């Protein structure tokens, strides 16, 4: 069966370097992002992806375009600003691990990807990542079919609406166990974050169990929930593949939320 080609719905498109510069210079709400990162207190680490998916990056940083550029000396989110204006990344992430104060953490010289057993590790924020390409679409097929056509990052309105429905259902299910939940529009799909103290303390094994059991019913990325993939998009940053702002969405507004929500559309 020949399936129709597709890319992204509406006017979603990659942001240019100039648009990224304008956004990080003048539009980003650094205070709201700082409020997000304030819980719980601890050393926090950030990461930038320059141009892995869009292929758009400053030429002089060609050697860095695909790898996460780790920033472990930004105490406040605003401290990221000089880095954002220098590297003009397509995506900004934070490490869901909470560490000892940053000067102590840097001195320990750990490999952040293997931080779990280190003495500077304090816990990890539990999160769920729901992306529209992971749902089985009646028109475009499943993720394997999309990957085979090199359309692993494409999605359509049907897939967006289905992943939004799943995010609402997952939130309501998680709300039976935890109370400090937040939903974030990731630019393409949704993230559900859990800020309850007991969730921060879950072991790797417990996280793996939660991920495996929920992945049977939701199109979640198991690697994110299990803790294997610790980076997640920073709310209020720009998703440079689709030119949308990553924003928290109250549960009561989720059903009617669109990727064209005025809060999510950047005015470059
Ligand atoms: Zn589709």
* Ligand 1 geometric centre to CA of 37 (Å): 34
Segment 223-251, tens digit of pLDDT: 999 999 999 999 999 999 999 999 999 99
Query: Interior CA angle at 52 toward 49 and 57, to 5°?
Result: 75
* Ligand 1 geometric centre to CA of 142 (Å): 9
**Token pair listed for 225:** 């929930």
| Local confidence band at 4 (pLDDT 50, 70, 90 cut-offs) | low
Residue with tokens 């691990």: 97
* Ligand 1 geometric centre to CA of 216 (Å): 20
* Ligand 1 geometric centre to CA of 119 (Å): 45
* Ligand 1 geometric centre to CA of 171 (Å): 23
* Ligand 1 geometric centre to CA of 88 (Å): 31
Q: What is the model's pLDDT at position 2?
A: 55
* Ligand 1 geometric centre to CA of 262 (Å): 24
Neighbours of ion ligand 1 (CB under 5 A): 137, 139-140, 156, 158-159
Q: For 203-210, which contacts have Cβ atoms below 8 Å and span 24 or more sequence positions? A: 204/116, 207/124, 207/126, 210/126
- What does the buried/exposed string (b/e) look like for 45-81 if buried means 16 or more CB atoms within 10 Å of the residue's CB? bbbbbbbeebebbbeebeebbeebbebbebeebeebe
* Ligand 1 geometric centre to CA of 206 (Å): 33
* Three-class DSSP category at 228: coil
* Ligand 1 geometric centre to CA of 140 (Å): 4
- In terms of DSSP H, where are the helices of 215-268? 222-226
| Local confidence band at 5 (pLDDT 50, 70, 90 cut-offs) | low
Segment 139-185, tens digit of pLDDT: 999 889 988 988 888 899 999 999 999 999 999 999 999 999 999 99
**Token pair listed for 13:** 């498109």
* Ligand 1 geometric centre to CA of 130 (Å): 15
* Ligand 1 geometric centre to CA of 268 (Å): 29
Q: What is the model's pLDDT at position 7?
A: 81
**Token pair listed for 81:** 């600003």
For 17-244, CATH gives 3.90.920.10
CA atoms of 164 and 11, how far apart (whole Å)? 19
Mean pLDDT score, 60-71: 95
Cβ contact 95:83 at 8 Å: no
- In terms of DSSP H, where are the helices of 126-268? 143-148, 157-174, 197-200, 204-214, 222-226
* Ligand 1 geometric centre to CA of 138 (Å): 7
Nearest to 218 by CA among 96, 129, 127: 129
Q: What is the model's pLDDT at position 3?
A: 59
* Ligand 1 geometric centre to CA of 61 (Å): 35
Handedness of CA 170, 172, 177, 180 (dihedral sign): positive
| Local confidence band at 1 (pLDDT 50, 70, 90 cut-offs) | low
Alpha-carbon distances, residue 177 vs 129, 184, 198 (angstroms): 18, 19, 10
pLDDT at position 76 over 80: yes
Q: Which sequence spans correspond to the domains of the chain? A: 17-244
CA 267 to chain CA mean position, Å = 21
């Amino acid at each position: 069966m020949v399936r129709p080609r597709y890319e992204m719905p509406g006017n979603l498109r990659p942001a240019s370097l100039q648009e990224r510069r304008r956004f990080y210079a003048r539009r980003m709400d650094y205070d709201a992002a700082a409020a997000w990162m304030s819980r719980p207190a601890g050393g926090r680490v950030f990461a930038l992806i320059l141009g892995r998916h869009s292929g758009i990056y400053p030429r002089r940083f060609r050697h860095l375009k695909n790898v996460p550029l780790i920033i472990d000396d930004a105490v406040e989110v605003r401290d990221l600003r000089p880095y954002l204006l220098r590297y003009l990344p397509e995506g900004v992430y934070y490490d869901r691990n909470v560490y000892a104060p940053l000067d102590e953490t840097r001195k320990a010289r750990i490999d952040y990807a293997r931080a779990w057993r280190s003495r500077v590790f304090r816990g990890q924020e539990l999160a769920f990542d729901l992306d529209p390409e992971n749902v089985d679409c009646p028109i475009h097929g499943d993720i394997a079919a999309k990957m085979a056509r090199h359309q692993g990052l494409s999605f359509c309105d049907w897939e967006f609406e289905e992943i939004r429905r799943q995010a609402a259902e997952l939130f309501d299910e998680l709300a039976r166990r935890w109370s400090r939940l937040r939903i974030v529009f990731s630019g393409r799909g949704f993230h559900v974050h859990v800020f309850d103290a007991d969730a921060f303390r879950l072991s790797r094994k417990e996280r793996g169990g939660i991920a495996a059991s929920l992945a049977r019913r939701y199109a979640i990325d198991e690697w994110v929930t299990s803790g294997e993939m610790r980076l997640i998009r920073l709310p209020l940053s720009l998703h440079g593949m689709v030119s949308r702002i990553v924003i928290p969405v109250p549960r009561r507004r989720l059903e009617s939320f669109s990727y064209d929500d005025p809060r999510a559309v950047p005015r470059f």
